[in-house]
Amino acid sequence: MGEGPRRSAERARELHVRSIVVDTLSGGPSLFTDRMTERAKRVLEEGKSGIEAVVAAEQEMVRELAEDAGCREHYRRMWDEGGVTCASLTLGGLGSPPFSFRSGLESLARTTRVLDACDDWLAKVTRAEQVRLAHDAGKHGLILNFQNTTHFGLDLDRLDLFYDFGVRIIQLTYNQRNFVGDGCTERTDAGLSHFGVELVRRLNRMGVLVDLSHSGSATAWDAIRVSEKPVAFTHTFCRALSEHDRGKPDELLRAVAETGGYIGMVTVPFFISSEPQPTLKDVVRHVRHAVEVAGIDHVGIGTDWGAVYPRELADALNREMGLIGFRAEHRVDWNATMPDYRSWQDWPGITASLLEDGFTKEEVQKLLGLNFLRVFEQTVG
């Protein structure tokens, strides 16, 4: 590496460390020790599903973090390498069954034990100021999110329960239809139900950010019109650049920005491109397009990718994606990587790529976290 590129990399790293970095739908870090990997393999050998194997590995992770100081130090190094101040963590997306009350509660319990084990450097975040304090102290934070409303269904007492436990971002639907509305891979798209309209208003009153990332277009449009506070696509991409059910058209990106809201771009290889080997340049193409459509003050990064699973486990998950609404045309591949973003610890490469594309330092800091933090403060506190 010549002197010029070396200095550019150093400056990118310096900016990354100096900035508040928020991954608005975190894809990692994924901790897989030998014990965790063996536990997952045993579950698969017993004829159970990949989803069950992931949950078993998470249970083993919690035990190791609670019992082993070396494991805790390794986990912190992964966070430090990624340089992410605060990550939004999905609860209960996988479980028995996925997106259920039970899976949400069990995931919340595991996360609480991790936070207790790592309480000297990792904390639950329920308001924006805590992110700033974590950055100033060189620590890290977790925002708890749900990617579905099926965790509480029609029982709003359960919604209050999860709020009391610290959930501050809730996605109205995942891919499929629920009581609130239709997801983005559903056969039809009827928009919000009457219950969905009331739920959006209730989330506004409670101080929960309304996430529309997996919602169908009509459902998203209805939520934008109903919500009295900014809304978000915490993890999406531009359909204008990659035709896919999970992407969002320009008019929806613009409409979310007009609410004062936030749009996070993913690093998911098979979403951002149909080509076999995308790179971070493709991610930045989506960021640049979103900025041109929605404005520099409304865009950020929600990676939704970067976990590294054992091959057998990734293959098993690929076979089970129909359970959560993905079909063959959605190209889901848990083994996919990019050459310059192989795991969540490669997060600083996103900052470097944004600078290489010509964004100014001030613009990059907005994209890395300041835009989201403003919206989070306005909607949550």
CA distance 355 to 272: 20
Q: Please state, in angstroms and as integers, the Cα–Cα distance from residue 273 to each residue in 188, 242, 252, 313, 332, following that order.
A: 25, 6, 20, 24, 12
pLDDT of residue 9: 83
The dihedral built from the CA positions of residue 211, 84, 238 and 324, taken in this order, carries a sign that is: negative
Give residue-wise pLDDT tens across range 336-373.
Answer: 999 999 999 999 999 999 999 999 999 999 999 999 99
Indicate the pLDDT class of residue 1, thresholds 50, 70 and 90. Answer: very low
Q: How far apart are CA 204 and CA 129, in angstroms?
A: 19
% the chain with pLDDT above 90:
94
Any residues with CB less than 8 A from the CB of 229 and at least 6 apart, and which? 204, 210, 259, 378, 379
Residue with tokens 């907005």: 366
For residues 358 and 285, the answer to whether their CB atoms sit within 8 Å is no
Stated length of the chain:
381
Cα torsion 185, 186, 190, 194 to 10°: value is: -100
Chain centroid to CA 74 = 22
Residue 265 phi, psi (nearest 5): -90, 135
Instruction: Please provide the average confidence, as pLDDT, over all residues in the chain.
Output: 96
Average pLDDT over residues 73-94: 97
d(CA 229, CA 212): 13
Percent of the residues in the chain that have a pLDDT greater than 70, as a whole number: 99
Range 252-261 average pLDDT = 98
Tell me: pLDDT of 14 over 90.
Answer: yes
Banded model confidence at residue 2, pLDDT cuts 50, 70, 90 = very low
Alpha-carbon span 323 to 332, nearest angstrom: 13
Evaluate if residue 3 carries a pLDDT over 60. no
SS3 of residue 292 by DSSP: helix
Residues 6+ apart with CB under 8 A from 18: none
13: nearest Cα among 381, 349, 377, 285: 349
Q: 314: pLDDT confidence band, cut at 50, 70 and 90?
A: very high
Smallest CA-to-CA distance from 222 within 159, 152, 173, 154 is with: 173
Confidence of residue 28 (pLDDT cuts 50, 70, 90): confident
Distance of CA 109 to the CA centre of its chain: 19
**pLDDT for residue 96:** 82
Please state the separation of Cα 345 from the chain's center in Å: 15
- Residue 334, pLDDT > 90, answer yes
Distances from the Cα of 72 to the Cα of 27, 30, 120, 144, 359, angstroms: 19, 13, 11, 20, 36
Q: Which residue has the tokens 């997106």?
A: 99
Residue range 183-197: mean pLDDT, rounded? 96
- Can you tell me the mean pLDDT for 169-194? 97
Mean pLDDT throughout 39-61?
94
**How many other CB atoms sit within 10 Å of the CB of residue 14?**
12
Question: What does the pLDDT look like over 116-143, one tens digit per residue?
Answer: 999 999 999 999 999 999 999 999 999 9
Measured in whole angstroms, the distance separating CA 52 from the mean position of its chain's CA atoms is: 21
The pLDDT of 191-212, averaged and rounded, is 98
C-alpha 216/C-alpha 238 separation (Å) is: 14
